[in-house]
Amino acid sequence: MGEIAQGDDVANAIAGCMKRHDARLVDDDIVVISQKIVSKAEGRVRRLAAVEPTTQAVGLARETDKDARLVELMLQESVAVLRRKKNVIVVEDRHGFVMANAGIDRSNVEDADSVLLLPADPDSSARRIRAGLEAVFGVAIGVIIVDSFGRAWRNGVLGTAIGASGVVALIDARGRPDRFGRKLQITEIAAADALAGMATLLMGEADEGTPFAVVSGWKARADAEGLGALLRRREDDLFR
């Protein structure tokens, strides 16, 4: 797939790429899409040279040894800074995602002076791309938009859902029996994140990376919208 530029239609770009490879979507496929191409298409690139950091950003940048203009963008995208240390800023962003650097990425952007923000409304992006792909292929599918998140307690990033449409993001297994007929102890399964993690592993991070993957055969497509159910409410969370 070629590079995506601002204003490009992500659904058409994916459909075109699939058709060139003699591939097509079928009912119940789930298309997992890297945040990067969605953000680029939506014009979420920011030139650092155009950013004027506030005093708060300058202070936090000094504490963490980061570029103050980058920190300014992180603060603009966030509602709270949860942790900071040299080279690390963990925020709660305005979508409710707890993540490093507010998901702002310096990799895979053409211009070394530019950075890429997350999509403004990833659930809406997913819904729009889904509608586009459904129209092209005449099918009912799901879409998950993913980014790579670090985790508390464990090293390494894991692809994580940041937007969804047409997918059961959180499976509610309450009331289901275990193998011996008793109530199952585990009651909610983060299906969208499991799909996001595997698809991101296959998509890759480096220069050979591909920006989307198709999950076939997983029958959790639904008319469900968004991934709000995956986000723990702040008041229920023991780690922020």
> Is the CB of residue 229 less than 8 Å from the CB of residue 170?
yes
> Is the CB of residue 218 less than 8 Å from the CB of residue 190?
no
Beta carbon nearer to a second copy, 21 or 179: 179
Beta carbon nearer to a second copy, 32 or 129: 32
CA distance 215 to 198: 10
Residue type, 52: E
Beta carbon nearer to a second copy, 100 or 136: 100
Three-class SS state of 186: coil
The least CB distance from residue 7 to a second copy, in Å, is 19
Among 170, 213, 221, 226, binds a second copy (CB under 8 A): 170
Count of residues engaged in binding a second copy, rule: CB under 8 A: 63
Residue type, 83: R
CA distance 209 to 110: 15
Residue 10 φ then ψ, to 5° = -60, -40
174 binds a second copy (CB under 8 A): no
The stretch near a second copy (CB under 8 A) out of 41-49, 69-77, 118-126, 191-199 is 191-199
230 binds a second copy (CB under 8 A): yes
CA distance 70 to 53: 8
Strand partners, 81: 91
Beta carbon nearer to a second copy, 10 or 191: 191
Which residue ranges make up the site for a second copy (CB under 8 A)? 3, 83, 85, 88, 90, 97-98, 105-110, 112, 148, 151-160, 170-171, 173, 176-186, 188-191, 193-195, 197-198, 200-201, 205-207, 209, 218, 229-232, 237-240
